[in-house]
Chains A and B, each alone.
Chain A
Amino acid sequence: GAVVSQHPSWVICKSGTSVKIECRSLDFQATTMFWYRQFPKQSLMLMATSNEGSKATYEQGVEKDKFLINHASLTLSTLTVTSAHPEDSSFYICSAGTGNIEQFFGPGTRLTVL
Chain B
Amino acid sequence: GQNIDQPTEMTATEGAIVQINCTYQTSGFNGLFWYQQHAGEAPTFLSYNVLDGLEEKGRFSSFLSRSKGYSYLLLKELQMKDSASYLCAVLDSNYQLIWGAGTKLIIKP
Are the CB atoms of A105 and B87 closer together than 8 Å? Answer: no
B42 proximity list for chain A (CB < 8 A): 93, 105-108
Question: What mask results when residues 86 to 110 of chain A are scored 1 for a CB within 8 Å of chain B, else 0?
Answer: 0000010100000001111111101
User: B33-59: which residues lie under 8 A (CB-CB) from chain A?
Assistant: 33, 40-45, 48, 50
User: B60-109: which residues lie under 8 A (CB-CB) from chain A?
Assistant: 87, 91, 95-97, 99-102
User: A2-19: which residues lie under 8 A (CB-CB) from chain B?
Assistant: none
Shortest Cβ gap from B27 to chain A (Å): 15
* Overall SS of chain A's interface: strand
- When chains A and B are docked, how far (Å) is the Cα of A34 from the Cα of B95? 12
Are the CB atoms of A43 and B30 closer together than 8 Å? Answer: no
The yes or no answer to B7 lying at the interface (CB within 8 A) is no
Question: Which residues of B pack against A, CB within 8 Å?
Answer: 30-31, 33, 40-45, 48, 50, 87, 91, 95-97, 99-102
Question: Which residues of A pack against B, CB within 8 Å?
Answer: 34, 42-46, 49, 91, 93, 101-108, 110
